């Protein structure tokens, strides 16, 4: 494999996920979850201290749970009983007395003694016939995990509080971590794990900070304070660079800046192929603040508003009023252009915090997105109310993510109808003709597209997840990142099928995965007949430039040749030959071409 290896004494190769070059001090942060517990024996003289340490951890855990409970918003207050249960667990003698007795009798450390207590409780619970009670072991384990963290004395370092200019080096960063980065201080980040379309990567682009992921062991190779260079165009990290190298990279960045401003001048020209076919180019946003940049870059609206980042940033479930204000601000700022607001897509790699994750074995296949919303109806309804209320202030389209079949769509629409009826009764203004659509990002939705099309106004193809699910490649796993292939013939055929079905059903169809902003993919998509692409705002000017230099007729003819190719490698080589002359001889080309060149070795 070409990725991830050390390619010089001091150079590492990872996956470039957010462009730009930064030179600065490394700041190592630990975001790992406390998982490994060791057993060790303690001397008689240390026993009472160990018991005390355990009691202090119990008190700290109680305090944290009470704080969590007090912070619960009104809508989820009814779930406060879960935290009450957790408080009761802490006080239960099966946890406290049993652990203390084990420390006293067996002279072992508190962590191990606690593990033993939990194991005993688990064995007892497993014998119980009632599923509900059996499942409560999860609560016990959740509490035990908190106690363990407190025993280790490790508070999670708040990334928001970092107050010097640094480059973050971490094993992993969750999208929630990334959302709290203070970008006036944090210049960028690099991680051991992660893939090109992980949400952490997408966030880095939204925050406009360079990032390289999938470096495998960078946290063990770099020390806190080391000077490093991060090249977010080609995924290189240079550790301890000499003066000449620093100057060379500074020059590269200056060249890039020059090139960017030349491209920006073109961003407000119409997005039209040379044979006069219009392709709407819109922006994906995660934060309200991005609307301004989207307009500056020449986006013709917001094609995907990923609403979950608002929840991640606040670290709690926001109330309806707060959501309404946020959506109203977005729609008013982008007006008269439209915004497609996607309902909550939490779960998978987007979780509020490690402590609150249900600990699923396969989060990407678990209780995420629309599934979570259909289960947590109050949270869902309050978001729908906020979106509908904001629809009175501009053009909003509403979109459900991760629909895998008709029933799920009908259930979601039924809840939407209930919310509309409520608003009607309350005489609250909203757009009664609001367009309702779905993301096509699960292979079953592709197969069933003709059925789904009868119930919606539009489709938006989410290739980040579609590729993940169709090719069985975890989008956040660096070990399989090299297989993540937008040029895979199966992916191209799926997109083609969805577009064909949408056109036959006469509904709008767009594409909003990372593939939309990949200059190498654009002619394939134009050839397929996509009329709208939505991407990271920063990618809009370059995409427009490419669209303005290709012909739709030629793209359609090329597509016939492409459909006759059997491997992703052949497709990529075909398209590279076509697009290379249109690509500038600069970093954007590095950024996109390097990804494909690396992949072509597989």
**465 binding ligand PEP? (CB under 6 A):** yes
**441 binding Mg ion? (CB under 5 A):** yes
**462 binding Mg ion? (CB under 5 A):** yes
Closest CB to ligand PEP among 16 and 202?
Answer: 202
CB 473, CB 450: distance < 8 Å: no
CB 422, CB 266: distance < 8 Å: no
Closest CA to 201 of 51, 60, 15, 432: 15
Closest CB to ligand PEP among 62 and 475?
Answer: 475
**210 binding ligand PEP? (CB under 6 A):** no
CB 228, CB 210: distance < 8 Å: no
Neighbour order of strands in the sheet with 227-231: 11-13, 236-239, 227-231, 21-29, 166-170, 186-191, 211-213, 15-18
CB 443, CB 466: distance < 8 Å: yes
Closest CB to Mg ion among 190 and 471?
Answer: 471
Q: List the x/- string, 259-298, binding to ligand PEP by CB under 6 A.
A: ----------------------------------------
For 286-408, where are the E strands, in sequence order? 302-306, 339-342, 396-400
The minimum distance between CB 445 and ligand PEP, in angstroms, equals: 12
Distance of alpha carbon 436 from alpha carbon 445, whole angstroms? 16
The minimum distance between CB 464 and Mg ion, in angstroms, equals: 5
**464 binding ligand PEP? (CB under 6 A):** yes
CB 308, CB 346: distance < 8 Å: yes
Distance of alpha carbon 17 from alpha carbon 38, whole angstroms? 36
What is the full DSSP assignment across 59-70?
Answer: HHHHHHHHHHHH
The minimum distance between CB 462 and Mg ion, in angstroms, equals: 4
**345 binding ligand PEP? (CB under 6 A):** yes
Distance of alpha carbon 288 from alpha carbon 274, whole angstroms? 34
Residue 587 phi/psi, 5° resolution?
A: -65, -35
SS3 of residue 1 by DSSP: coil
For residue 191, what are the contacts with CB-CB under 8 A and spacing of at least 6? Answer: 169, 170, 171, 172, 173, 200, 211, 212, 213, 214, 215, 218
**463 binding ligand PEP? (CB under 6 A):** yes
The DSSP element (H or E) to which 188 belongs, if any, is: strand 186-191
Distance of alpha carbon 579 from alpha carbon 257, whole angstroms? 22
The binder of Mg ion chosen from 172, 231, 465, 508 (CB under 5 A): 465
DSSP state of 41: B
CB 193, CB 169: distance < 8 Å: no
**27 binding ligand PEP? (CB under 6 A):** no
Q: List the x/- string, 499-538, binding to ligand PEP by CB under 6 A.
A: -------------xx-------------------------
Closest CB to ligand PEP among 263 and 304?
Answer: 304
Residue nearest to ligand PEP (CB): 462
Residue nearest to Mg ion (CB): 465
The binder of ligand PEP chosen from 462, 519, 527, 538 (CB under 6 A): 462
The minimum distance between CB 576 and ligand PEP, in angstroms, equals: 23
Instruction: Give the range of 226-234, 248-256, 423-431, 463-471 binding ligand PEP by CB under 6 A.
Output: 463-471
The minimum distance between CB 372 and ligand PEP, in angstroms, equals: 13
Could you tell which of Mg ion, ligand PEP, none binds residue 512, using a CB distance below 5 to 8 A set by kind? ligand PEP
Could you tell which of ligand PEP, Mg ion, none binds residue 306, using a CB distance below 5 to 8 A set by kind? ligand PEP
Could you tell which of Mg ion, ligand PEP, none binds residue 65, using a CB distance below 5 to 8 A set by kind? none
In Å, what is the CA distance from 327 to each residue of 174, 175, 320, 323?
A: 24, 21, 10, 6
Instruction: Give the range of 71-79, 422-430, 463-471, 584-592 binding Mg ion by CB under 5 A.
Output: 463-471
The minimum distance between CB 527 and ligand PEP, in angstroms, equals: 20
Whether a cis peptide bond, with omega within 30° of 0, leads into 469 is no
Could you tell which of ligand PEP, Mg ion, none binds residue 463, using a CB distance below 5 to 8 A set by kind? ligand PEP
The H helix count followed by the E strand count for the chain is 25, 16
The minimum distance between CB 286 and ligand PEP, in angstroms, equals: 9
The minimum distance between CB 5 and ligand PEP, in angstroms, equals: 28
- At 267, list the tokens: 């961003």
**306 binding ligand PEP? (CB under 6 A):** yes
Residue with tokens 């063990």: 220
# binding residues, ligand PEP (CB under 6 A): 10
Q: Catalytic amino acids?
A: 199, 512
Provide the CB-side half-sphere exposure for 319 (13 A, CA).
8
The minimum distance between CB 387 and Mg ion, in angstroms, equals: 18
Closest CB to ligand PEP among 513 and 527?
Answer: 513
Q: Could you list the residues that contact Mg ion (CB under 5 A)?
A: 441, 462, 465
Q: Could you list the residues that contact ligand PEP (CB under 6 A)?
A: 304, 306, 345, 441, 462-465, 512-513
């Amino acid at each position: 494999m070409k990725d991830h290896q050390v390619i010089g004494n001091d150079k590492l190769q990872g996956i470039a996920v957010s462009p730009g070059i930064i030179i600065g001090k490394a700041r190592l942060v630990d975001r790992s979850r406390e998982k490994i517990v060791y057993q060790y024996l303690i001397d008689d003289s240390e026993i009472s201290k160990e018991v005390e340490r355990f009691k202090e951890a119990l008190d700290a855990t109680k305090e944290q749970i009470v704080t969590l409970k007090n912070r619960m918003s009104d809508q989820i207050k009814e779930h406060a009983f879960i935290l009450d249960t957790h408080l009761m667990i802490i006080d239960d003698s099966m946890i406290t007395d049993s652990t203390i007795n084990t420390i006293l009798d067996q002279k072992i450390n508190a962590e191990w003694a606690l593990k033993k207590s939990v194991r005993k409780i688990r064995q007892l619970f497993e014998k119980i016939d009632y599923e509900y009670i059996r499942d409560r072991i999860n609560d016990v384990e959740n509490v035990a995990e908190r106690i363990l963290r407190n025993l280790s004395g490790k508070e999670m370092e708040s990334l928001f509080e970092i107050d010097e200019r640094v480059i973050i080096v971490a094993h992993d960063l969750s999208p929630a971590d990334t959302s709290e980065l203070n970008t006036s201080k944090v210049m960028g980040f690099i991680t051991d794990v992660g893939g090109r379309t992980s949400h952490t990567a997408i966030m880095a682009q939204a925050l406009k900070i360079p990032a390289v992921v999938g470096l495998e062991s960078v946290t063990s190779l770099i020390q806190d304070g080391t000077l490093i260079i991060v090249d977010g165009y080609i995924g290189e990290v240079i550790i301890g660079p000499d003066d000449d190298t620093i100057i060379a990279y500074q020059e590269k960045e200056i060249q890039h800046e020059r090139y960017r401003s030349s491209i920006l001048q073109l961003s407000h020209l119409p997005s039209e192929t040379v044979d006069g076919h219009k392709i709407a180019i819109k922006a994906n946003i995660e934060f309200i603040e991005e609307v301004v940049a989207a307009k500056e870059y020449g986006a013709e609206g917001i094609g995907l508003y990923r609403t979950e980042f608002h929840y991640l940033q606040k670290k709690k479930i926001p109330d309806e009023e707060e959501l309404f204000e946020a959506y109203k601000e977005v729609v008013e700022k982008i007006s008269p252009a439209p915004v497609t607001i996607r309902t909550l897509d939490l779960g998978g790699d987007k979780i509020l915090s490690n402590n609150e994750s249900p600990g699923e074995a396969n989060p990407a296949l678990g209780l995420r997105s629309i599934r979570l919303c259909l289960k947590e109806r109050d949270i869902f309804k309050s978001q729908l109310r906020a979106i509908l209320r904001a629809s009175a202030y501009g053009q909003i389209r509403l979109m459900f993510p991760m629909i895998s079949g008709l029933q799920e769509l009908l259930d979601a629409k039924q809840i939407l109808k209930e919310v509309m009826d409520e608003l009607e009764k309350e005489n609250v203004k909203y757009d009664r003709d609001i367009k309702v659509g779905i993301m096509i990002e699960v292979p079953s939705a592709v197969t069933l597209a003709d059925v789904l099309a009868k119930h919606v106004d539009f489709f938006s193809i989410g290739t980040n997840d579609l590729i993940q699910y169709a090719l069985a490649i975890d989008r956040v796993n660096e070990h399989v990142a090299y297989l993540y292939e937008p040029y895979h013939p199966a992916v191209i055929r799926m997109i083609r099928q969805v577009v064909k079905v949408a056109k036959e059903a006469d509904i709008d169809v767009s594409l909003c995965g990372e593939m939309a902003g990949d200059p190498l993919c654009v002619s394939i998509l134009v050839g397929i007949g996509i009329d709208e692409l939505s991407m990271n705002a920063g990618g809009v000017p370059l995409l427009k430039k490419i669209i303005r230099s290709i012909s739709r007729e030629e793209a359609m003819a090329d597509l016939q040749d492409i459909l006759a190719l059997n491997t992703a490698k052949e497709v990529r080589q075909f398209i590279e030959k076509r697009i290379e002359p249109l690509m500038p001889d600069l970093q954007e080309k590095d950024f996109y071409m390097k990804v494909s060149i690396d992949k072509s070795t597989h």
